Structure 1
Amino acid sequence: MSDDEKTPAREIITDYAQSHFRYFRTADGTVYAQRNGHPVARPIRSQGTTGSHRQELMVGLFRDGVGVFNGTALKEALDLIEALALTEEVQAVHIRVAPGWDGATWLDLGRADGRSVRIHPTGWDIAVPDPREVCWRRTQLTGELPLPARDTDGKGIDLLLRLCNFATAQTECLAIAWLIGCLEPSVPVPAPFLTGPQGAGKSTGGRMLTRIIEGMSGDLRRAPKDEENLIAAVAAGWVTALDNLSHMTPDLSDAMCCIVTGAENVKRALFTDGDVFRARYRRPLLLTGIDVGVIRPDLAERLLPLRLERPRVRRTEAELWADYAEALPVVLGSLLDLTVKVRAVEVETPTDLRMADFAHLCAQLDAATGFGSLAAYRAALDDLNDDVIEGDLLAQTVLRHAADVEPGTAQRMTSTEWLHHFTRLYTGEECRPLPKGWPTTGKVLSDRLKRLQPTLAARGVLIDSGRTYEGRYIEISRSPAAPPHQQQTL
């Protein structure tokens, strides 16, 4: 055969690839390859250590006896495949948890055979999902989960609660509600903050909760020093667990708010001048620490405090984790049973809480089990409001002012006038010095009050602003019927 009659290597590779793999693109234009009949998808440009499509293609060509090809032929073939895939239909890829057809959701077990858990209000089962229904993306953070046990009769929940040192029954039901929320991709869940005295097993408890979703390879991490590294870690996994937090900077606090409720990060794509790379993320977040100092009001509405107590009997790490690994299939099976039961319940959504989806989930859990998790969630938020007020001298001063205001009446002044009023109220007759961070201008005061609005409203103090022909104003009033907690505080 003459050289002119030989089929070019790039055509051989392209024909083999298109017959053995399905290629598609995501909404951001990234092209993925998915082996026929298998739910795991890999970006064709990836050079990651978890296995790139280029490596997968080379191995397939060699094992099927097609041949071994040089890098130039592979590059030309992949360039053509990528261009062809840009005309294909758009499909999303998911890490660990994904929405499915007919109201179902899927949980990736991280197995090589692609078997996953399909969760539906009518039950759950283990199957390989249709590649057109679910496309899994895996990274180094995607650990393998054991096959969940069936017919557990709730024993797994009891095993988990015995292994964790939760201080109260209210804390236990909130932890269970959070785990159920982690299995629902469309529900933003507040970030559990495991607190307690030194030696209460906060890190161990955080690992246990994380590994129910992420497998035994899941672990806690130190908080990255910059937002870019935090977002990269969040985008590569499902549950992000940060350990031993002792200080919360404003930037880290804002980043955590975005992680919990969802945001998008856009930056310039590498080796380009005008193209951009988009990273959308909304992930379950878990934190541990004894105390993080002052908590900002917007983050407080997104936290879920879980208090632990020191165990009476200490166990070795090897013994503890051996028992946990043995119990994990039963724990996961019981959690799936409870999730199915909860999703089948119809309840009204509480409309007075910021995380309304999680509040609705708590109401479903209560209706299915009688736990009382919604009341526990409200009490936890109330405690967080106390933490915010105790760490903010301006909030304390506003409450002190409101204590002398008749319920149902309002006072209206400009922001500068309010600043002078609160400053005189704080300094008092002894003219004590103003603390660091006290508002210095009316604009700063106005911005601070906007942040404190939800916290103060929970204590019956309402803040409104507006504009008249004379200028802008801030109106502060006390609700006609102050909550009992506020009456005690004031």
Structure 2
Amino acid sequence: MSEDDKPPAREVITDYAQAHFRYFRTADGTVYAQRNGHPVARPIRSQGTTGSHRQELMVGLFKDGRGVFNGTALKEALDLIEALALTEHVQPVHIRVAPGFDGATWLDLGRADGQSVRIHPTGWDITVPDPREVCWRRTQLTGELPLPAKDTDGKGIDLLMRLCNFATAQTEGLAIAWLIGCLGPGVPVPAPFLTGPQGAGKSTGGRMLVRIVEGMSGDLRRAPKDEESLITAVAAGWITALDNLSHMTPDLSDAMCCIVTGAESVKRALFTDGDVHRARYRRPLLLTGIDVGVIRPDLAERLLPLRLDRPRVRRTEAELWSEYAEVLPTVLGSLLDLTVKVRAAQAETPTDLRMADFAHLCAQLDAATGWATLDAYRASLDDLNDDVIEGDLLAQTVLRHAGTIAAGQQQRKTSTEWLHCLSALYTGDDFRPLPKGWPTTGKVLSDRLKRLHPTLAARGVLIDSGRTMAGRYLEMARVEAPPRHEQQQAF
């Protein structure tokens, strides 16, 4: 064939690409390439270190004897392929976990051969998913998991708990419930906060929990200094673990609330004037630290405190992690077995808790095992409410005033009148100065009380607002406080 009869290089590349890859787009318009028969998809514009589609296309052309092509031909071919893919059906891509057909869910093991775990109502299997059912997206944060062991008879759970230093059996149950929640792509789970004295193994325990889902390369990170860096890290992985927190700024607290329950970030797309880049995220979050100071009420409802004790016998890092790596297939197999049992269990959904999906999961876990995880979860929320109150002088003052109101009675004042009333109660007869951060106007007081509403309601104090012909008002009422939940030794 003469040089003039040869097809242009861009046509050779395009024909080869369409024969060996499937191209599709996601809801945000990003075009992905997926090798035929393989579940992993790569954005065609990516130049990431995990391997770009451009690289795998160049390697495929070379190995199949089609030749080596210059950058211009590759660019022209990929531009055409991207334009054609925009007319294809929309399909989502997933990191680590994904919903499947017929009520099944998938867990990506991060393996090069694409083998994944399909968790279905009757059990779980290791198989390569149909690319049209599940498309995996991988990043540098996607570690490889071992093949989970079958027929473990639940011993993997015991092996895991022996390596961790959880203070009580109830804490262990909450940790297991959180891990099961991490295997569900549609269930928001509260963020475990591993606390305890210095030397309790909080960082080690956090790594062990994370690596059950993220593999041995999963690790803890310091909290980013800005929200954009945090969102970037969250969007690139499944579990985000922040280590050794000692202070929680309002911006970081709000960002964590969004991570747990889901939000969307929108920013200008690079090299454009008017286009935008959307990043949707809802991810499991894990925190460690001795004390983070004052916890805001909205974050407290999304936390899961897990207390650890100092171990009596110390072990070397090498010995500890060698044993962990050895038992990880058994731990993962036992967790998958328990996940199947929990999802099959029937239980009522508690309607009084903010994280209702996780509360329902705890109820299912109790039905499947006979534990008391839901009671432990309620007790942990009671403890967090105490922490919020102890760290907020306004909440303490409101509860002190509410003690003068008879049960079932209400008091109605304007927000300015409430500010004078509560300020006078705090300063007392000795006229001590108001603390830093005390509300300075009625509007600020009203906003603070709205944020404190769930915490005060848990102590039997209801704050309501309304409007009459005379203007707006705030109403304080005292009702019978919900019973405090004590943790039961039922494990």
Give the structure 1 partner of residue 33 of structure 2.
Answer: 33
Q: CA–CA distance in 1 between the matches of 2:291 and 2:239? A: 22
Contact 2:379/2:484 (<8 A) preserved: no
Give the structure 2 partner of residue 359 of structure 1.
Answer: 359
Please give the residue correspondences for 1:368-407 in structure 2 after superposition, counting only pairs within 5 Å: 368-407=368-407
SS in 2 for 1:118: strand
Q: CA–CA distance in 2 between the matches of 1:485 and 1:57? A: 62
Give the structure 1 partner of residue 482 of structure 2.
Answer: 483
Q: CA–CA distance in 2 between the matches of 1:285 and 1:466? A: 37
Give the CA deviation at 1:254: 0.2
Deviation string 1:113-134 (CA, Å, 9 cap, x unpaired) is 0000000121000000000000
Deviation string 1:414-452 (CA, Å, 9 cap, x unpaired) is 100000000000000000000000000000000000000
AA at the equivalent of 1:108:
D
Please give the residue correspondences for 1:282-431 in structure 2 after superposition, counting only pairs within 5 Å: 282-431=282-431
Give the CA deviation at 1:470: 1.0
Give the structure 2 partner of residue 192 of structure 1.
Answer: 192
Give the CA deviation at 1:372: 0.4
SS in 1 for 2:111: coil
Q: How many residues align?
A: 485
Give the structure 2 partner of residue 155 of structure 1.
Answer: 155
Q: CA–CA distance in 2 between the matches of 1:79 and 1:125? A: 39
Q: Percent identity?
A: 87
AA at the equivalent of 2:201:
G
Give the structure 1 partner of residue 183 of structure 2.
Answer: 183
Give the structure 2 partner of residue 172 of structure 1.
Answer: 172
Q: CA–CA distance in 1 between the matches of 2:265 and 2:159? A: 40
Contact 2:257/2:298 (<8 A) preserved: yes
Give the structure 2 partner of residue 436 of structure 1.
Answer: 436
Give the CA deviation at 1:484: 4.9
Give the structure 1 partner of residue 280 of structure 2.
Answer: 280
AA at the equivalent of 1:319:
E
Give the structure 1 partner of residue 118 of structure 2.
Answer: 118
Give the structure 1 partner of residue 240 of structure 2.
Answer: 240
SS in 2 for 1:101: coil
Q: CA–CA distance in 2 between the matches of 1:168 and 1:330? A: 23
Q: CA–CA distance in 2 between the matches of 1:3 and 1:414? A: 88
Q: CA–CA distance in 1 between the matches of 2:468 and 2:187? A: 41
SS in 2 for 1:102: coil
AA at the equivalent of 1:254:
D
Structure 2 gap segments, 5+ residues each: 486-491
Give the CA deviation at 1:105: 0.3
Q: CA–CA distance in 1 between the matches of 2:251 and 2:481? A: 34
Residue 47 of structure 1 pairs with residue 47 of structure 2: yes
Residue 109 of structure 1 pairs with residue 102 of structure 2: no
AA at the equivalent of 2:285:
L
Q: CA–CA distance in 2 between the matches of 1:485 and 1:339? A: 29
TM-score, scaled to structure 2: 0.98
Q: CA–CA distance in 1 between the matches of 2:7 and 2:211? A: 51
Give the structure 1 partner of residue 82 of structure 2.
Answer: 82
Deviation string 1:122-153 (CA, Å, 9 cap, x unpaired) is 10000000000000000000000000000000
AA at the equivalent of 2:404:
D
Deviation string 1:278-326 (CA, Å, 9 cap, x unpaired) is 0000000000000000000000000000000000000000000000000
Give the CA deviation at 1:2: 4.3
Deviation string 1:65-103 (CA, Å, 9 cap, x unpaired) is 111000000000000000000000000000000000000
Give the CA deviation at 1:256: 0.2
Give the structure 2 partner of residue 448 of structure 1.
Answer: 448
TM-score, scaled to structure 1: 0.98
Q: CA–CA distance in 2 between the matches of 1:326 and 1:268? A: 46
Give the CA deviation at 1:485: 4.8
Q: CA–CA distance in 1 between the matches of 2:6 and 2:236? A: 43
Deviation string 1:323-361 (CA, Å, 9 cap, x unpaired) is 000000000000000000000012111000000000000
Structure 1 gap segments, 5+ residues each: none
AA at the equivalent of 2:349:
T
Contact 1:345/1:368 (<8 A) preserved: yes
Deviation string 1:172-220 (CA, Å, 9 cap, x unpaired) is 0000000000000000000000000000000000000000000000000
Contact 1:211/1:217 (<8 A) preserved: yes
Contact 1:194/1:307 (<8 A) preserved: yes
Give the CA deviation at 1:5: 1.9
AA at the equivalent of 1:224:
P
AA at the equivalent of 1:438:
W
Deviation string 1:371-425 (CA, Å, 9 cap, x unpaired) is 1000000000000000000000000000000111000000011100000000000
SS in 2 for 1:318: helix
Deviation string 1:249-271 (CA, Å, 9 cap, x unpaired) is 00000000000000000000000
SS in 1 for 2:98: strand
Contact 2:157/2:335 (<8 A) preserved: yes
Across the aligned residues of Structure 1 and Structure 2, the Cα RMSD in angstroms comes to 0.8
Q: CA–CA distance in 1 between the matches of 2:126 and 2:344? A: 19
Give the structure 1 partner of residue 489 of structure 2.
Answer: none
Q: CA–CA distance in 2 between the matches of 1:2 and 1:467? A: 87
Q: CA–CA distance in 2 between the matches of 1:122 and 1:416? A: 61
Contact 2:118/2:127 (<8 A) preserved: yes
Give the structure 1 partner of residue 271 of structure 2.
Answer: 271
Contact 1:459/1:485 (<8 A) preserved: no
AA at the equivalent of 2:208:
M
Give the structure 1 partner of residue 6 of structure 2.
Answer: 6
SS in 1 for 2:445: helix
Give the structure 2 partner of residue 216 of structure 1.
Answer: 216
SS in 1 for 2:137: coil
Q: CA–CA distance in 2 between the matches of 1:383 and 1:279? A: 34
Contact 1:39/1:134 (<8 A) preserved: yes
AA at the equivalent of 1:24:
F
SS in 2 for 1:292: coil
Contact 1:31/1:82 (<8 A) preserved: yes
AA at the equivalent of 1:440:
T
Give the CA deviation at 1:483: 3.5
Contact 2:415/2:443 (<8 A) preserved: yes
SS in 1 for 2:361: helix
SS in 2 for 1:452: helix
Give the CA deviation at 1:3: 4.0
